Amino acid sequence: MSTISSPVDATYIPLWRVRLRLFWRAVKTNWAMFAENPIGLFGLGLIIFFGLFALAHPILISTVWEAKIYDPVNGFDIEIPYHPSPPSAKHLLGTDPMGRDVLSQLMFSTRYEFALGMISAIVTVLIATSIGAIAAYYGGITDILLMRIVDLVIMIPYLPILIVMSALMRVGMIELALFIGILSGFGGTAIVIKSQALTVKVKPYIEAARISGGGDFHIIFTHMVPNLLPIALLYMMFVVTGAIFSEAVLSFFGLTEIDMSWGLMINTTQVFGYIMRFDAWYLLLPASLAITLLCAAFYMVGRALDEVVNPRLRER
Amino acid sequence: MTQDNNTLVDVQNLSKLFPIGQGVFKQAESFVHAVSGVNLKIKRGESVGLVGESGCGKTTTGKLLTRLIDPSEGNIFLDTDEGRVDIAHMRGKEMKIFRRRVQMIFQDPYESMNPRLTIYDTVAEPLNVQGIGTVAEREARVSDLLETVGLTPASSFLFRYPHELSGGQRQRVAIARALVINPDFVVADEPTSMLDVSVRTGVMHLMQDLADRFGVTYLYITHDLAVARYMCDRIAVMYLGKIVEIGNTEDVLQHPKHPYTKALLSAVPVPDPTYTREPILIKGGISRPVDPEPRCRFYDRCPLADKICEGNDHPPLEDQGGGHLAACYHI
């Protein structure tokens, strides 16, 4: 064979660059499918907006905003006699009953909401994918045990458990994200991923891999998991929504040890008795709207991804 | 047959029983005798065809020989550099080494490749898993083989995905993948049945060509007698988990001994409208061999069945001359 392109050929391209190019091509084709859906684009736009919103806070604090006045936790504007104060040129969304800038609080909290959503989603999906793939691959007693654990998790009323947890111990942002990730229901995701794994498991390429000498680990991680990842990614989006929502609920009850979050902003409003006062809308509305919009954004991206992942939903 | 050095695979009394209704806390009530007491010798460099209708245990036999499923009983001896080894009860590391010697080509080229891996990854997987060669060596070996199986230029196929290839091209990739670690023995499970007739001969020709070039021994599993005739030196006819007739291809096809083989041959259409042939009638259809009666497996459908067949166990394979064996009391 003299005509083959051997590694010494002039046109030889290293393997990793070929892989990078293939990855880029896959990203482009998937993006084309995703971009067809206006809902997904809108959701992605919202997420990007919130991302920039979060990034802008440290920049504003270090340049335009005076830290003493605009600090989201300890700031106080002594020039204004009565707090809370309605929106003004100095405080675009007004100040809260403790004299802190609402816009600054809103922006400061965004990064934590993102981190919380992402950490808990990754934890959930990691657990769900491992359980789904392992249960489907091994079957038998392993399958039964893992699936009963999943049933248990589905049954657990996780919000009351989180409330008890936060009463017993100090629950910061990371702990909360992990708790939500573990408890808030990898159950449903695991079942869906397992059903997908069952259809992958019986494909002849799994047998072909075994005939080549591939062990269980090799088969699960190079053949099964890549075929499960699209669905896992999809469910990740939905878990983010749930996590942000749960955090808001817990913070509203004042059960978390978090400096500032959207739920805590609503909690402050409630504690000072402004929750039913529509003239103080600037206390309640920004945080609630932010929670709703960010949850909706992740959900919309999830729906659009669903169409990319699931060809049956595509209108073609 | 006497034990000679030329035998590559020697299957002795191989059986596979599948339990029915078995649970974690429940014993199986009955068993499907998918393969029972199969004896088969395959010489080095020879192609043996395994024919039979659907559900007769052909594919199970193939999977047993590649150890995709564990045999319930019996031995499979493989002639290797270290002498004869029994692969029926291998485990762990030994098994991984054995995987280098026996490979399989699957029926469906659309399902036998992971849609998320490129052609290179698919073909190089055996090398990868077995840890043979460096990355550059593997790449050279893979493109070399792709050219050999007729996918030229290899560089334009290496980093494509399976869905970008046609059925014939995919089956060529599957062949390349099976041969990439230089196996001695390849089980081909109906490799051409999913292909268009127009590309079928091309793939069959390629497989013969590669057998000559790399010294590969094939076990061909097929239900197409024409394919078996084209590809194989010897044919074994299977019925309900038993080999009922085995012999040289032309012997078996021209002078079938067993009533089942005769019926099978009479079902092959002849492209001549004026040709009339005595139809050989067999009753009913193939059944699942669930706990079969200890008598000839073909008894229920056999036109020759009588008291001898009913009273005795399944007849043994007996030599009818010239290495042509058949299992029937009425020959």
Domain boundaries, chain A: 104-316
Interface check for B111 against chain A (CB to CB < 8 A): the answer is yes
Quick check: B114 and A227 CB within 8 A?
A: yes
Residue of B nearest to A214 (CA): B129
DSSP string for chain A? --SS--TTSTT---HHHHHHHHHHHHHHHHHHHHHT-HHHHHHHHHHHHHHHHHHHHHHHHHTTS-HHHH-TTT---TTSSSSSB---SSSTT-B-TTS-BHHHHHHHHHHHHHHHHHHHHHHHHHHHHHHHHHHHHH-HHHHHHHHHHHHHHHHS-HHHHHHHHHHHS---HHHHHHHHHHHS-HHHHHHHHHHHHHHHHTSHHHHHHHHTT--HHHIIIIIIHHHHHHHHHHHHHHHHHHHHHHHHHHHHTT-S--S--HHHHHHHHHHTT-TT-GGGHHHHHHHHHHHHHHHHHHHHHHHHHHHHH-GGGS--
**Any A CB within 8 A of B155 CB:** yes
Query: What is the reported pLDDT for A8?
Result: 46
Chain A environment of B147 (Cβ under 8 Å): 1, 3-4
> How much is the pLDDT for B331?
75
pLDDT of residue A253 exceeding 50, the answer is yes
B136 touches chain A (CB under 8 A): yes
Which residues of chain B neighbour A227 with C-beta distances below 8 Å?
114-116
Q: Is the pLDDT of residue A10 over 50?
A: no
| pLDDT, tens digit, 9 for 90 and up, residues A158-185 | 888 888 888 888 877 888 888 888 887 7
Residue A23 C-alpha, separation from nearest chain B C-alpha, in angstroms: 11
In whole angstroms, how far apart are CA B193 and each of A84, B113, B211, B297?
79, 17, 19, 27
**What mean pLDDT comes out for the span A278-302?**
87
Tokens representing A230 are 């699209």
Chain A: give the shortest CA distance to residue B71, in Å. 16
Domains of chain B: 1-101+185-199+212-300+315-331 (3.40.50.300), 111-182 (no CATH)
Q: What pLDDT score does A7 carry? A: 47
Of A162, A148, A218, nearest to A190 by C-alpha is: A148
Say whether pLDDT at A310 is over 80: no
Of A12, A144, A201, A211, which to mutate for an interface test with B (greatest number of B Cβ within 10 Å)? A211
Judge whether B70 is closer than 8 Å to chain A, CB to CB: no
- CB atoms closer than 10 angstroms to residue A75: 21
Tokens of A186: 């990898």
Nearest to B144 among A4, A140, A211 (CB): A4
- Please give the CATH topology (third level) of the domain spanning A104-316: MetI-like fold (1.10.3720)
Instruction: Say if residues B120 and B159 touch (Cβ distance below 8 Å).
Output: yes
Give B136's contacts in chain A (Cβ within 8 Å): 7
Whether chain A has a CB inside 8 Å of the CB on B215: the answer is no
**Predicted local distance difference test score (pLDDT) of residue B81:** 76
pLDDT at B1: 42
Closest CA to A60 of B96, A181, A208, A52: A52
A11-51 pLDDT, tens digit each = 566 777 888 888 888 888 888 888 888 998 999 999 999 99
Residue A312 has pLDDT above 70, yes or no: no
Cβ distance A4 to B140 less than 8 Å, yes or no, reads yes
Of A96-100, A255-259, B227-231, which one has max mean pLDDT? B227-231
Each of the 331 residues of chain B gets a pLDDT tens digit; together they read 444 568 888 888 899 988 887 776 778 788 888 888 888 889 888 899 999 888 888 889 999 988 888 888 888 888 877 778 888 888 778 888 888 888 999 888 888 888 888 888 899 999 988 888 888 888 888 988 999 888 888 888 888 888 888 888 999 999 999 999 889 899 998 888 888 888 888 888 899 888 888 888 999 998 888 888 888 999 999 988 889 899 999 888 888 888 888 888 888 878 888 887 777 677 777 777 788 878 888 888 888 888 888 778 888 888 877 788 888 888 7
So what's the pLDDT on residue A139? 86
d(CA B97, CA B181): 11
Give mean pLDDT, residues A68-72. Answer: 78
**What is the predicted pLDDT for the residue at A37?**
86
| pLDDT at residue A12, as a whole number | 62
